[in-house]
Structures are given as structure tokens and as C-alpha cells.
Amino acid sequence: MAFTLVINSKGLFGKVKSIQMAELLKNCGLKYGSNNEFYILEDDKMNQNTAVLYNAKRTGRGIFFDGSRIADGQVTISYNIPTTKTEIHDFIQVAREIERQFKKASFYCTEEKRNYTIDELENKEEAMAAFSLESLHRFCNDQEMKQCILTLALYPWFMEPEKREYYKTCPDLDDFEETIHELQAGDFYYAKPSLMKNKNDGKVLAVYTLTDECASIFPMDAKAFLNLDGIQVDEILIMS
């Protein structure tokens, strides 16, 4: 589930067909990167004019920026639900900054099939946070979901059972925001496996490389790897 805004330039003397990304990042206090195939963020990279924006002082789930249609005077931004109050605030600031660079802009929410003004978005911020809290409750109460996995700005999070239990009825988003920020604030290397296939039996081996004196996170549940397009991992190996 997401909240998506399609932002179109509506300049009086023609559409603005560029976004100064460095200026946007500076004015909004954000950093950026691009996800690899395991949803691990690679900092300072864009992929075909798309990127994940995030607030390093309060890292959440990331704001997706799609500038692939900037030549038509269009930018699309979105955030995943549930997310944090800070990220919702940052999202609206990004929308405002894009409007500033466009001089004049229209905002269309694809999920709600309606238009917004920037003032309406700012007035809706608390309601957006309340909906995010309701969504967190529903997500954690879903009995068919054996394991809760959320893509964060920097890497996936396999939610601990005790956190899931608390978030079923938590009174606000404070603990959720603090938890996912702390998870991503540490100086960790989130390892990406190399996949190797045995020509004889067809089994797939996921190989991690362990670097000395580097705190690392190694996802060990092969069935939970994201974006593998149906690949079955049979064995995991960590090499130093």
C-alpha cells in the first residue's frame, strides 16, 4: 500500500522540465540512493532517473522519487504505508519543493483518484499519520502473514514477534519510528549474497563474504529473500 502523488508542471509560460536534485535534497534535508535487487540501498545512485529519498536524522521507509517523465514536466513521488510521522512530513516538504521548482504545479493522488493543493496536503498530515497507524495495526494483525517483512529505506526488516505483537494495538507511531530509525542508524553492512547454481544438481547456493572488523547483517532465511523471482535457495554459506 502506498500514497502516490503525480506532480505536473503548470508554468504560465511553458512547463518546467527539470528538477535540481541537489537543491531538492539540500532544501529538504534528505539523502538519496537506489535499491539493488535485494532492496538494499546503494547510496548516491539513481536508476533511470528514479531514487529513494530518506532523512538520515530520522530514517524511515524511504520516499520513492520517479523523474523518468521529467521531459514531460512530470514527477511522481510516493511513500509506503505504514510509515512514520517524520517521513510523511518529509514527503509533503518534497512535494512543496517540487512545486517551488516548477513555479506552479498540480498534485494528483493515484490511490484516491483526486487532486490536492499543497495546502490541503499540509492540512492532511495528521490524518495521513492516523491512517498509517491504522495500517500498521492491520498489517500486524494479519493472521495469514506468518512473518512481517517491511522494506525500509536502507534494507528490509524482518519484524521481531514481540514488536509485531506490540504494534497490533500500539497507541501511536512513536515506537515504530524510533525502532526503524535505530535499526538503520548503526554503522552496519547489510550483506548482499552472490547466487551460484550447481550445474550437476541444479541447487542454488547463496554466498556471503565476511569482512573482518566490519559489523554486518546476514539474512539467513533464504525463503524470505525479496525480489528473487521464484529462485529457490538451497544452502547459505558465509566465507571470510
Give the pLDDT of the chain (240 residues) as one tens digit per residue.
Answer: 899 999 999 976 678 889 999 999 999 999 999 998 778 899 999 999 999 999 999 999 999 999 999 999 999 999 999 999 999 999 999 999 999 999 999 999 999 999 999 999 999 999 999 999 999 999 999 988 888 889 999 988 889 999 999 999 999 999 999 999 999 987 666 666 677 777 777 777 776 676 666 666 666 565 555 555 566 766 656 555
Residues 110 and 140 in one domain: yes
Kindly report each contact of residues 116-123 with a partner whose C-beta sits within 8 Å and lies 24 or more positions away, as own/partner: 116/5, 118/92, 121/92, 121/95, 122/92, 122/96
Residues 60 and 33 in one domain: yes
Residues 118 and 158 in one domain: yes
**What does DSSP assign to residue 71?**
G
Compute the distance between CA of residue 150 and CA of residue 148 in angstroms, rounded to an integer: 7
Residues 179 and 193 in one domain: no
Compute the distance between CA of residue 178 and CA of residue 128 in angstroms, rounded to an integer: 18
* Structural domain span for residue 167: 1-186
Give the total number of structural domains in the chain.
2
Residues 162 and 218 in one domain: no
Residues 21 and 70 in one domain: yes
Residues 216 and 142 in one domain: no
Residues 221 and 165 in one domain: no
pTM of the model: 0.83
CA angle 162, 173, 144 (to 5 degrees): 50
Residues 138 and 198 in one domain: no
Contact of 42 with 167, CB cutoff 8 Å = no
